Amino acid sequence: PILEIIRIDRGGLSLETKAVGRIQFGIPPETIKDSMRLGIEVPRVYIVPVERFCREMGPALGINVAEFEFPAYFNYFVRTKRCTLVVESE
């Protein structure tokens, strides 16, 4: 089956799975607000890209796409659930 991929406003991709629910690739700042604004569930599973900084603005500037702090707080304190963070093995 083909999965619907939703682009998050500030970066990242979100998709719904039958196995674990919503998964998000990349965790840019304000990602919870973006999910809520789009009307999609805030994920419990996040995949951190191998390149953790998006440097489209230049080599000395970048956006951290591994901002896991607020998704973890939201899931733990608001939803009383744990998150899964998928990272590179090395």
Return the pLDDT at 65. Answer: 84
The more confidently predicted of residues 62 and 87 is 87
The more confidently predicted of residues 3 and 22 is 22
pLDDT in tens, 31-74: 999 999 999 999 999 999 888 877 776 666 778 888 999 999 99
DSSP character string of the chain = -PPPEEE-TTS-EEEEETTTEEEEE-B-TTHHHHHHHHT-PPPSEEE--SS-EE-TT-TT--EESB--HHHHHIIIIIS----EEE----
Instruction: Tell me what the pLDDT averaged over the chain comes to.
Output: 89
pLDDT over 90, % of the chain: 62
